[in-house]
Structure 1
Amino acid sequence: MRVHHLNCGTMTPIGGRLVDGRPGLFRHATLVCHCLLLETATGLVLIETGMGTPAVADPERWLGRRFLTLSKPVSRAEETAVSQIRALGLDPADVRDIVLTHLDLDHAGGLVDFPQARVHVYAAELAAYHAGNPRYRRAQLAHGPQWTPYEDAGDDWFGFSAVRELDGVPDVALIPLAGHTTGHAGVAVHTDTGWLLNAGDAYFYHSEIDEPARIPPGLKLFERLVQTVPEQRIENQQRLRELRLTSDVTIFAAHDLTDFERLSRPAHA
């Protein structure tokens, strides 16, 4: 298996170091949409999709005015998952499976670019969408994705409940990490060099699951504003902190620039 780390959507909210922790206050911060592309023996697997090509062509309809105002995404066709797959000399039509942490617009917006793919997601997340939760962008999912939901998380993964047998996707597991959303899950990938865990939005800053924890105040406020189940979010962050201390699992947050820079070169194999 070959693993590529892709940034499928840069966001530049105001706040500088209060948001991304880097020097300078009077500037725009930088956040990413950290996705994984897996080259496997049976085809390509995409972990998260970013915002998708319609976010470039028609951002207000696809992302909404509120998201555009607060997150200030950069409109770059070359950052879409489709474009990056082609740039690697691969065919987007070979993406057979997509595994998502959750259905927020910056994680699932690119599903429309891969209509041939099965979409693996934790069932509680899909149920929240079908129940009409307004946080999800209906336009992004109107094409009718090929959902493959999972309810049973009875397997064990480093002490976490897990779905270890995804249909047709070996070496990938869903790790329920509710808090940000009710059905939020991490996506674990077993590579030749060990386990990678895309923790999605279970936390937002690379040192938030360090001991002691540290997160810029603006990002901490945002994290609280968008959470769904606060108690579970805090509990799962502590469990991730313990996992980092007691294992060799490589954990990363979906929007943290430092994590992305650390892992994007060289690619894991």
Structure 2
Amino acid sequence: MESPEYRVFALRYGANPRRRRFENVIFQQSGDCHDASMPMDFFVWAVVGTDRVVLVDTGSGPGTMTARGHDHLRPPLAALADIGVGAADVGDVITTHLHWDHAGAIDDFPHARLHIQRAELAHATGPSMDSPFLRRPYDRPQLTAWLRALYDGRVAFHQGDDEIVPGVSVHHVGGHTPGMQVVRVPTGRGWVVLASDAVHYYENLTAENPFPVLVSTIDYIEALRTVTRLADGPDHIIPGHDPLVLRRFPRVAPGLDGAAALHLEPAAVSA
């Protein structure tokens, strides 16, 4: 049976224009200025079909963003409104991992089923959180909300690869976190992979140079290769934080600088 086609949107909710290269890549080539500017954007992604909407990640609120040194631009709900989607339209939320900038505001989508890898929630609520380094990217109020959702019967656990709705699948890759998963979506231009933080920037992918926050370098590199196999080409891979996404893909509408249509053909833009 042929997979249905979906429209896919990258929706920016935050930014950090003060970010530096040494914060985003590990290995610096000779002559590469490690302190050079390398801004970061923060996204959620909407997968829109004829009869359903899947939200990939739920972002973070202004208090959490500010406390961690980033700029909150708008709530993810407002970003969804730009493409004509309301909270009640979202039937499923796929959370790629539980870091603070991807797993907040789940209570804004009370009717949605929440999809997470077993390994991710086990890591974020288990013995590893005894380490200040390992728990640094997680947010206690967000995890409390997730535990409430779990006890309310809203959480669907996955172990490995799985289909969430017809055609849309999650794929466990690890590396950045133990339960990191990416999302594969059939669109009019082929298979698009929402890599989230399996690939923070295009450069992490092209140089096989990991983002510095990770639990396994070996798994991170293998995740890059898995993402490449799942996508229908390099321009079908969507990184989690690269401002180039909004430059490479068409705007949803004039004036909507923070919303890009990933199911449409990208333009060639130099880094």
2:71 corresponding residue in structure 1: 74
- CA shift for structure 1 position 37: 1.0
Q: TM-score, normalised by structure 1?
A: 0.74
2:121 corresponding residue in structure 1: 126
- CA shift for structure 1 position 173: 0.8
Match of 1:261 among 233, 238, 247: 247
Q: What are structure 1's unaligned runs of at least 5 residues? A: 154-161
2:15, 2:228 → 1: CA distance? 26
1:150 corresponding residue in structure 2: 158
Match of 1:3 among 4, 8, 12: 8
| DSSP 3-state at the match of 1:237 | helix
User: Percent sequence identity over matched residues?
Assistant: 28
| Paired residue type of 1:200 | S
| DSSP 3-state at the match of 1:49 | coil
User: For 1:146-177, what per-residue CA distance to the aligned partner results, in whole angstroms no more than 9, with x for missing partners?
Assistant: 211112x3xxxxxxxx32x22xx222111111
| DSSP 3-state at the match of 2:92 | strand
Match of 1:236 among 223, 235, 260: 223
User: For 1:214-248, what per-residue CA distance to the aligned partner results, in whole angstroms no more than 9, with x for missing partners?
Assistant: 76xxxx5xx23x2112221122224445666x857
126-135 vs 82-91, which moves further: 126-135
2:19, 2:86 → 1: CA distance? 36
1:258, 1:187 → 2: CA distance? 20
| DSSP 3-state at the match of 2:120 | helix
1:109 corresponding residue in structure 2: 104
| Paired residue type of 1:11 | N
Aligned pairs, number: 231
- CA shift for structure 1 position 63: 5.1
1:199 corresponding residue in structure 2: 195
| Paired residue type of 1:80 | P
| DSSP 3-state at the match of 2:85 | coil
| DSSP 3-state at the match of 1:33 | strand
2:182, 2:79 → 1: CA distance? 23
User: For 1:11-43, what per-residue CA distance to the aligned partner results, in whole angstroms no more than 9, with x for missing partners?
Assistant: 23443x65679xx99886421123221222333
Question: What is the RMSD of the two structures over their aligned residues, measured on CA atoms?
Answer: 3.0
Q: TM-score, normalised by structure 2?
A: 0.73
| Paired residue type of 1:149 | F
The alpha-carbon distance between structure 1 residues 114 and 242, as it changes in their structure 2 partners (threshold 3 A), is: closer
The answer (yes or no) to whether the contact 1:194–1:249 under 8 Å persists in 2 is: no
1:184 pairs with 2:184: no
Match of 1:92 among 67, 71, 87: 87
The alpha-carbon distance between structure 1 residues 80 and 264, as it changes in their structure 2 partners (threshold 3 A), is: farther
- CA shift for structure 1 position 203: 2.6
The alpha-carbon distance between structure 1 residues 236 and 20, as it changes in their structure 2 partners (threshold 3 A), is: closer
226-235 vs 101-110, which moves further: 226-235
The answer (yes or no) to whether the contact 1:122–1:176 under 8 Å persists in 2 is: yes
The alpha-carbon distance between structure 1 residues 248 and 64, as it changes in their structure 2 partners (threshold 3 A), is: closer
The answer (yes or no) to whether the contact 2:65–2:71 under 8 Å persists in 1 is: no
The alpha-carbon distance between structure 1 residues 14 and 118, as it changes in their structure 2 partners (threshold 3 A), is: same
1:156 corresponding residue in structure 2: none
- CA shift for structure 1 position 6: 0.7
| DSSP 3-state at the match of 1:42 | coil
Q: Which has the higher helix share?
A: 1
| Paired residue type of 1:137 | D
| DSSP 3-state at the match of 1:180 | coil
- CA shift for structure 1 position 124: 1.0
The alpha-carbon distance between structure 1 residues 113 and 186, as it changes in their structure 2 partners (threshold 3 A), is: same
